[in-house]
Amino acid sequence: MNAVSARVIVGMSGGVDSSVAAWLLRERGESLAGLFMQNWDEDGSGECRAEDDRRDALKVCGQLGLPFIARNFAADYWSGVFETFLAEYRAGRTPNPDVLCNREIKFKTFLDEAKALGAEKIATGHYARVDEADGRWRLLRGVDASKDQSYFLHQLGQSQLASTLFPVGELPKTEVRAIAARLGLATAKKKDSTGICFIGERDFREFLAQYIAVTPGEIVDASGDVLGRHDGIAFYTLGQREGLRIGGVRGRPDAPWFVVGKDAARNRLVVEQGDSPLLKSSALRSEAFHWIAGEPPTFPLRCEAQVRYRQPPQACTVLPRDDQGVDVHFDEPQRAVTPGQSLVLYRGEECLGGAVIAATDAPLDPLRATVATPIAPFFAPASP
C-alpha cells in the first residue's frame, strides 16, 4: 500500500455532491486525493453501475487535478452490511442498509484506509455538519433541511467526527448543482442516486428471493377475512400501500389498503383501510442506543425523534433501559413506526445518536408487551 501526500482523502462516489465537496476543499487550499470505493461486486443481473460511477469519479479528479485511488471494499460490505440486511428480513423486520454502510464502510473501512495512506481526515458529500463545542464533537443537521442526511450518520462517534469533513453540509443543494455546472464538472447533470446500490434496477422481490426463503400466504383484514395473497411477508413493510393487489371488496369503501401488521406465525399479512388506529403507536423500545457524545445524557430526556428519513421531528420523552436501549414516549401518536428501522434523537440541530427500533406499543406488534408503560409525571406534555 503506497502512501499519498494528501492531508484529506475525499470519498468520490461519482456523484455531484462528492465532486463539489472536493472542489470546495481544493479552494480552501487543502492537500487532497480522491478515493472511489466499490462496495458491491456486480453479478451481471442488475444495473448497479459501479463502473460508470468509477469513471465519473476519475474524470472529476482529473478535472480538479487530484490523485485518484480506487479500492474494492465488497468483502467488507458483504460481512458488515449485507449479511445483517438479510438477517433482518429473515426476522420479518425492515432494515436500513444506508445506516450500516456509513458505520461499517464509509466511516470505518474507508477511514482506516485513508489513515493507512497517510491522511489525517476524510471528506464525503453528505449533507450534514460537524463542529466542536466544550471539547466534544457534535453532528449537526445540514443547512439544506430537504437534503439533511444526519439521520443516516447517527452511528458515528467522537473519533469518526474528529476525522471527518462535510463540505457541502453548509450549502443548499441548488447551490451545489450551480457550482458543478459553472465549473463544467463531469457530474454536474448526473441524477442523484436512489435506492440500494446492490439492487440497482432489478426487481426488489426477485433479488431478495435469491437470498432468503419466502413463502406466499394470505392477506387478511383485522377480522381475519381473506382479501388476497402475498408473495412473502418479508417483501412488505408497515404502512405500505403499493403492491398489495387488493381490488374492490364487497361491503368495504373504495379506499386504499395499507399493511398494518405481520402475523409471522401464520404467515399472514394484515391490512386495513385509511388511517387505521392499528398503525398508531405512542411508545417504542429500542435496541442498544449509540450516543454520539460517547455517554448518555441526564434522564428523563426531553428531545425530538425521527423514526424515518425526512419525517418532521416529533417531541418525545426518553428513559434508559437496563439493556442499554431506551424507551421513547411520544407526545403525539406516530404512524407506522417500524421495527428494524432507525430511531434517531435530536436536540434542535444536534443529532444525539440513534438505535434500531425493537418494538412498539402498536396493537398488532407481537412484542408490544416489552414496551414500557408511561410513568407520570415524566411523560406529561409540558404546559403551554
Catalytic residue ranges: 101, 197
Helix (H, G, I), strand (E, B) or coil at 327: strand
Cis peptide before 67 (omega within 30 of 0): no
* Residue length of the chain: 384
Residues 309 and 152: their CA atoms lie apart, in Å, by 8
Q: Are 297 and 352 in contact, with CB atoms under 8 Å apart?
A: yes
C-alpha cell at 206: 426477485
CA distance 207 to 176: 34
d(C-alpha 213, C-alpha 302), whole Å: 42
For residue 8, which phi and psi values (nearest 5 degrees)? -125, 135
Q: Which residue has the cell 393487489?
A: 245
Maximum alpha-carbon separation in the chain: 72
β pairing state of 350-360 and 290-291: antiparallel
Which residues have CB under 8 Å from 259's CB, separation 6+? 236, 237, 238, 239, 240, 241, 244, 269, 270, 271
**Alpha carbon distance, N-terminus to C-terminus of the chain:** 61
Q: Where are the alpha helices (DSSP H) in 145-203?
A: 158-162, 173-183
- Specify the 3-state DSSP secondary structure of 256: coil
**d(Cα 373, Cα 145) in Å, to the nearest integer?**
33
Q: Are 6 and 31 in contact (CB under 8 A)?
A: yes
Distances (CA, A) of 215 to 83, 132, 212, 236: 20, 51, 10, 13
Tell me the C-alpha distance between 377 and 302, whole Å.
13
Compute CA 76 distance to the chain's CA centroid, rounded to the nearest angstrom: 18
